[in-house]
Amino acid sequence: MNAYRLKPLRYPWPPVLYGTALLLALVAAQFSPLPVGSGHPWMFRMGGLLLFIAAALLDIWAMKTLFEHQTPFTNTGCARHLVKTGPYRLTRNPIYLGYTLATIGLGLMMGNGWLLLAALMAAIGIRFAVIRCEEQHLLARFGIDYEYYCRRTRRWI
Protein backbone atom coordinates (compact mmCIF):
# COMPACT_ATOMS: atom_id res chain seq x y z
CA MET A 1 0.00 0.00 0.00
CA ASN A 2 1.24 3.46 -0.86
CA ALA A 3 1.86 5.38 2.37
CA TYR A 4 0.62 8.59 0.76
CA ARG A 5 -2.79 7.01 0.23
CA LEU A 6 -3.14 5.76 3.78
CA LYS A 7 -6.77 6.27 4.77
CA PRO A 8 -8.17 7.30 8.13
CA LEU A 9 -10.27 4.91 10.21
CA ARG A 10 -13.43 3.53 8.63
CA TYR A 11 -15.49 3.52 11.82
CA PRO A 12 -15.93 6.27 14.45
CA TRP A 13 -14.40 4.33 17.37
CA PRO A 14 -13.98 7.10 20.00
CA PRO A 15 -17.70 7.61 20.76
CA VAL A 16 -18.19 3.84 20.80
CA LEU A 17 -15.26 3.26 23.18
CA TYR A 18 -16.22 6.05 25.57
CA GLY A 19 -19.93 5.18 25.37
CA THR A 20 -19.23 1.51 26.11
CA ALA A 21 -16.93 2.41 29.00
CA LEU A 22 -19.59 4.75 30.41
CA LEU A 23 -22.31 2.12 30.13
CA LEU A 24 -20.18 -0.61 31.71
CA ALA A 25 -19.24 1.69 34.58
CA LEU A 26 -22.89 2.54 35.26
CA VAL A 27 -23.86 -1.15 35.21
CA ALA A 28 -20.91 -2.09 37.46
CA ALA A 29 -21.99 0.56 39.96
CA GLN A 30 -25.40 -1.09 40.23
CA PHE A 31 -23.86 -4.42 41.26
CA SER A 32 -20.85 -3.25 43.22
CA PRO A 33 -20.69 0.45 44.12
CA LEU A 34 -17.23 1.99 44.11
CA PRO A 35 -17.54 5.32 45.96
CA VAL A 36 -15.29 8.27 45.27
CA GLY A 37 -13.50 9.84 48.23
CA SER A 38 -14.87 10.51 51.66
CA GLY A 39 -15.89 13.58 53.57
CA HIS A 40 -17.88 16.27 51.78
CA PRO A 41 -19.54 14.82 48.66
CA TRP A 42 -20.58 18.28 47.50
CA MET A 43 -16.89 19.13 46.92
CA PHE A 44 -16.51 16.18 44.56
CA ARG A 45 -19.77 17.06 42.83
CA MET A 46 -18.74 20.68 42.34
CA GLY A 47 -15.25 19.70 41.16
CA GLY A 48 -16.76 17.14 38.79
CA LEU A 49 -19.19 19.69 37.41
CA LEU A 50 -16.40 22.21 36.80
CA LEU A 51 -14.26 19.52 35.15
CA PHE A 52 -17.17 18.41 32.96
CA ILE A 53 -17.86 21.98 31.85
CA ALA A 54 -14.16 22.56 31.09
CA ALA A 55 -14.08 19.32 29.07
CA ALA A 56 -17.18 20.32 27.09
CA LEU A 57 -15.67 23.74 26.34
CA LEU A 58 -12.40 22.10 25.24
CA ASP A 59 -14.30 19.79 22.86
CA ILE A 60 -16.31 22.67 21.42
CA TRP A 61 -13.15 24.77 20.95
CA ALA A 62 -11.35 21.88 19.24
CA MET A 63 -14.27 21.11 16.91
CA LYS A 64 -14.69 24.81 16.06
CA THR A 65 -10.98 25.03 15.25
CA LEU A 66 -11.19 22.02 12.93
CA PHE A 67 -14.33 23.43 11.29
CA GLU A 68 -12.57 26.75 10.65
CA HIS A 69 -9.79 24.86 8.85
CA GLN A 70 -12.29 22.82 6.79
CA THR A 71 -11.04 19.62 8.39
CA PRO A 72 -13.51 16.95 9.54
CA PHE A 73 -13.61 16.33 13.28
CA THR A 74 -14.61 12.71 12.89
CA ASN A 75 -11.74 10.27 12.58
CA THR A 76 -13.29 8.70 9.47
CA GLY A 77 -12.71 11.76 7.30
CA CYS A 78 -9.48 12.51 5.49
CA ALA A 79 -7.52 15.38 7.05
CA ARG A 80 -7.35 18.34 4.68
CA HIS A 81 -5.05 20.55 6.75
CA LEU A 82 -2.63 20.01 9.60
CA VAL A 83 -4.26 22.07 12.33
CA LYS A 84 -1.78 23.51 14.82
CA THR A 85 -3.79 26.40 16.27
CA GLY A 86 -6.35 26.70 19.05
CA PRO A 87 -6.23 23.79 21.47
CA TYR A 88 -4.02 21.90 18.99
CA ARG A 89 -1.14 24.15 20.10
CA LEU A 90 -1.32 22.49 23.52
CA THR A 91 -2.27 18.89 22.74
CA ARG A 92 -2.51 16.78 19.59
CA ASN A 93 -5.75 15.17 20.80
CA PRO A 94 -7.91 17.79 22.53
CA ILE A 95 -11.19 16.08 21.65
CA TYR A 96 -10.14 12.77 23.22
CA LEU A 97 -8.72 14.64 26.18
CA GLY A 98 -12.10 16.36 26.53
CA TYR A 99 -13.94 13.01 26.40
CA THR A 100 -11.64 11.62 29.09
CA LEU A 101 -12.00 14.67 31.35
CA ALA A 102 -15.78 14.65 30.88
CA THR A 103 -15.94 11.01 31.96
CA ILE A 104 -13.84 11.79 35.04
CA GLY A 105 -16.08 14.78 35.77
CA LEU A 106 -19.17 12.58 35.56
CA GLY A 107 -17.55 10.09 37.90
CA LEU A 108 -16.85 12.81 40.45
CA MET A 109 -20.34 14.31 40.12
CA MET A 110 -22.04 10.92 40.54
CA GLY A 111 -19.59 9.65 43.15
CA ASN A 112 -18.98 6.65 40.88
CA GLY A 113 -15.42 5.35 41.02
CA TRP A 114 -16.16 2.97 38.14
CA LEU A 115 -16.41 6.00 35.85
CA LEU A 116 -12.90 7.06 36.85
CA LEU A 117 -11.64 3.61 35.94
CA ALA A 118 -13.71 3.70 32.73
CA ALA A 119 -12.08 7.00 31.73
CA LEU A 120 -8.64 5.45 32.15
CA MET A 121 -9.54 2.30 30.22
CA ALA A 122 -11.20 4.27 27.40
CA ALA A 123 -8.16 6.56 27.12
CA ILE A 124 -5.87 3.52 26.85
CA GLY A 125 -8.17 2.01 24.21
CA ILE A 126 -8.22 5.29 22.27
CA ARG A 127 -4.44 5.52 22.45
CA PHE A 128 -3.84 2.12 20.91
CA ALA A 129 -6.91 1.60 18.70
CA VAL A 130 -7.44 5.11 17.34
CA ILE A 131 -4.58 7.55 17.90
CA ARG A 132 -1.99 5.18 16.47
CA CYS A 133 -3.97 4.91 13.20
CA GLU A 134 -4.67 8.64 13.09
CA GLU A 135 -0.99 9.44 13.58
CA GLN A 136 -0.04 7.11 10.71
CA HIS A 137 -2.64 8.81 8.50
CA LEU A 138 -1.39 12.30 9.40
CA LEU A 139 2.24 11.29 8.93
CA ALA A 140 1.46 9.88 5.48
CA ARG A 141 -0.56 12.98 4.61
CA PHE A 142 1.70 15.75 5.96
CA GLY A 143 5.13 14.13 6.33
CA ILE A 144 7.88 16.23 7.89
CA ASP A 145 5.45 18.97 8.97
CA TYR A 146 3.59 16.44 11.10
CA GLU A 147 6.84 15.05 12.52
CA TYR A 148 7.88 18.56 13.56
CA TYR A 149 4.45 19.18 15.11
CA CYS A 150 4.72 15.91 17.08
CA ARG A 151 8.14 16.91 18.42
CA ARG A 152 6.83 20.15 19.91
CA THR A 153 3.27 19.18 20.92
CA ARG A 154 2.42 16.46 23.42
CA ARG A 155 -0.06 13.72 22.56
CA TRP A 156 -2.33 14.30 25.56
CA ILE A 157 -1.19 17.07 27.93
CATH number of domain containing 66: 1.20.120.1630
Q: Is 84 exposed, middle or buried (0-12, 13-18, 19+ CB in 10 A)?
A: middle
Predicted pLDDT of residue 10: 60
Predicted pLDDT of residue 1: 43
DSSP notation for 92-150: S-HHHHHHHHHHHHHHHHHTBHHHHHHHHHHHHHHIIIIIHHHHHHHHHHHTHHHHHHH
Under the banding of pLDDT at 50, 70 and 90, the label for residue 70 is confident
| 157 domain-assigned | no
Rounded to a whole number of angstroms, the distance between the first and last alpha carbons of the chain is 33
| Residues 119-137: tens digit of each pLDDT | 999 999 999 988 988 898 8
| 27 domain-assigned | yes
Give the mean model confidence (pLDDT) for residues 11-33. 90
Domain that holds residue 60: 11-152
Q: How many domains does the chain have?
A: 1
| 4 domain-assigned | no
Under the banding of pLDDT at 50, 70 and 90, the label for residue 9 is low
Q: Is 35 helix (H, G, I), strand (E, B) or coil?
A: strand
Q: Which amino acid does the sequence have at 145?
A: D
| 3 domain-assigned | no
